[in-house]
Every structure is written in C-alpha cells, then in structure tokens.
C-alpha cells in the first residue's frame, strides 16, 4: 500500500550542504541532529553527516544521544539540554559529552562520575548574551567550586550560543565574542584550557568567519534552509540545497461553484468556478492550521494554493478550472523544485520560520531516503 503522505529526504543534499560549509571554514564541523534531525530522521542523517566529513554530532536531549549510541554510532557526541535528574551515569557510560550550565548540573554530573569511577566529559556553557542556557550570575561561584572538582572531570570544551548572528547589521555578535573571550581567560587562570571552543551556529558558520574557533555547529544550513530568509537570503542565494520534500495524495478532485464557502468557518469564498483538491494531509501531520493561501501544493509544476483552513487530517487546494489531476494522484506540499512551494513559503504563510515547518512534520509520515 502506498502511503497517503510521505517525506522524501535527499541525503545527497545534506552532503552537499556540509561541503558548502566545510569549504568556508578551517574549523571542524558538528552536525546538529536534534529533534529527529530537524524532522529528517535521526539515524540516517547522523550517519550521512559523518560520512560527509562532520567530526562531531550534537543533540539537545540525552535520550537522542542514547539512541545514536544504541545504533552503533561511536563518533564524538554532545547532549546540551540535560535537566537535573537526567541519567548522567548512562551518559558517562556511553561516552556522551555533557554540557554544564549551572552549579546544580555540575554537582550532579560530578557525583555520577564518582559513582562510576569515571571522569565525565564536559563542555562548560557560558551565557554571553542569549539569556537562555549557560552560566551567568553563578559564574564566580562556579569557578570557585570548579577548582575543587576539576581533577574529577575531563573538561573538553567551552561554548556559548549566538543570539543575533543572522543579522548582518547587528554588532551584538561582537559583544558576545568579547564576553566569551573574557570567560575563556578566567578559566585559563585556573589552569583550564579546553581543547575545543565553539559558539558558531549555522548563521555564524556562513557569515562570521572570525568566530568559527575549533568547531562550528551546523544545524538548519545542513538541511539546506536559510537561517533567516529576510536577513541572509534564500537557500538558493546561500548555495544550499533543501533536503526535505513532502508529498501527499489527493482524496478527491471536485467541481465547486463561484461563491462557495470552503472549510471550517467558511473563511474562504470562491471568486470563480473551480475544482478543489482534497489533500490527505493536515495539522495532525504537521501542517500549520493557520497557513494562508500563500501556501499550497504543486501539481505537475503548477502551484495550487490552499483554500480555507487546514483541517486535522486534510486540507483543500484550488486545482483550477481545468485540473490536470485526479483522486489518487500525489501532490508536492513543499520541496526543492524551482516552481513549487518551499518550506520558506509555508513558514511565511503561517507567520513562523522554516525551522518550525520541517521539525513539526509528524513521525507518522514515513521517511523515504534518496541519495
């Protein structure tokens, strides 16, 4: 039975995007595969990234890191969003690097290492302006405590995260770089010199060469999407190839008269006689309910805009007066075609960003991999 909707992931595009980044830096590459590799599939993408030259993998959650280890992936791996109470002993046992961003985490990871008789591999996260993860007011107290426990830890890295690297006119990244250098110098005074320092995300990897350090963390760009279309340009302008395309079947194609109200609430009223295509994909599959008619599907290279609200399992598109499709045909929701809708189009039509469009695609849609 053919799937009523599916995700096609082009691993060749992921390889090409990593080469695009690698050609512009002397730093090693950490491939960010959190959130099921931004919806593209954790294990296949991780393996592809390593084959393409990435030397590190990065995830947010410990369970994601453990999935990679269970799959037999032995590459250097960091999990950076591990709340207190996580299974730090499992992380240490599986050679997973951990991010230390608070005194509470320092103490729990240290205790887990002592319990196992192993040195945890840690990266110290400092808040240089994002005001999200990382040490801020606790920094001085942390340095004092670190002095007593540093011999029990393998301090691999020092890292931070840019807040506005996608804004070419902002000088805030320079402020963050200086703050990062200050924290680095304070660690050196304690005799701590991490072998790896990293603060560049995709945007910085593409446009702030001076911030690349020893490692750049490549997330959205690896999947062929722009970190910010408004400030940095489209995928095409950045030399990136979108890796995800989505296809869904038409349940039916039917004639509807001018003046017909369409969908829940009748929010769309047809201005002409047309044919409506009922697409077997809706917001339970990840399509935003609020998407406007600036999004839609592509049929044989021709765009068919959304009509009315996206429903739970289906949506409606305008196939035109003389449709070239029938029920059972596949349409492309978005992808890398020149004439079709893109993830950026869907993001704009929904008041969001391309990151959310790809990561919200439901796991119930099968992933098919091409290379």
The answer to whether the CB of 316 falls within 8 A of the CB of 251 is no
Q: What are phi and psi of 305, to 5 degrees?
A: -70, 155
* Active-site residue, 38 included: no
Please state, in angstroms and rounded to a whole number, the distance separating the CA atoms of residues 319 and 275: 5
* Active-site residue, 34 included: yes
Residue of 119, 264, 283, 341 with catalytic role: 264
Residue of 2, 19, 34, 355 with catalytic role: 34
Please state, in angstroms and rounded to a whole number, the distance separating the CA atoms of residues 262 and 364: 27
307, HSE (Cβ side, Cα atoms, 13 Å)? 25
Which residues are part of the catalytic machinery?
34, 264
């Amino acid at each position: 039975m053919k799937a009523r909707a599916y995700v096609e992931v082009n691993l060749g595009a992921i390889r090409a995007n990593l080469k695009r980044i690698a050609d512009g830096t002397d730093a090693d590459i950490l491939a960010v595969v959190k959130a099921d590799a931004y919806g593209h599939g954790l294990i296949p993408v991780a393996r592809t990234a390593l084959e393409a030259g990435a030397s590190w993998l990065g995830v947010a959650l410990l369970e994601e890191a453990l999935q990679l280890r269970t799959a037999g992936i032995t590459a250097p791996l960091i999990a950076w969003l591990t709340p207190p109470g996580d299974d730090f002993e499992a992380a240490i046992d599986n050679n997973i690097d951990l991010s230390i961003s608070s005194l509470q985490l320092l103490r729990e990871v240290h205790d887990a290492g002592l319990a196992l008789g192993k040195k945890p591999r840690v990266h110290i996260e400092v808040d240089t302006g994002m005001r999200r993860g990382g040490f801020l007011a606790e920094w001085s107290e942390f340095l004092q405590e670190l002095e007593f426990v540093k011999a029990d830890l393998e301090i691999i890295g020092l890292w931070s995260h840019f807040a506005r690297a996608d804004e070419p006119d902002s000088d805030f990244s320079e402020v963050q770089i200086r703050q990062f250098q200050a924290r680095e110098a304070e660690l050196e005074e304690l005799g701590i010199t991490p072998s790896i320092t990293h603060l560049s995300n995709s945007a910085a990897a593409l446009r702030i060469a001076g911030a690349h350090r020893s490692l750049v963390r490549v997330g959205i760009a690896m999947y062929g999407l722009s970190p910010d279309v408004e400030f940095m340009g489209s995928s095409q302008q950045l030399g990136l190839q979108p890796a995800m395309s989505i296809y869904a079947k038409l349940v039916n194609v039917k004639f509807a008269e001018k003046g017909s109200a369409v969908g829940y609430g009748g929010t769309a009223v047809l201005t002409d006689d047309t044919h409506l295509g009922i697409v077997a994909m809706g917001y339970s599959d990840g399509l935003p309910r609020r998407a406007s008619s600036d999004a839609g599907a592509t049929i044989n290279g021709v765009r068919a805009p959304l009509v009315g609200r996206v429903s739970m399992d289906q949506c409606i598109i305008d196939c035109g007066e003389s449709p070239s499709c029938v029920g059972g045909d596949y349409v492309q929701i978005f992808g890398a075609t020149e004439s079709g809708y893109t993830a950026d189009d869907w993001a704009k039509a929904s008041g969001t960003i391309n990151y959310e469009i790809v990561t919200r695609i439901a796991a119930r849609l099968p992933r098919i991999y091409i290379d």
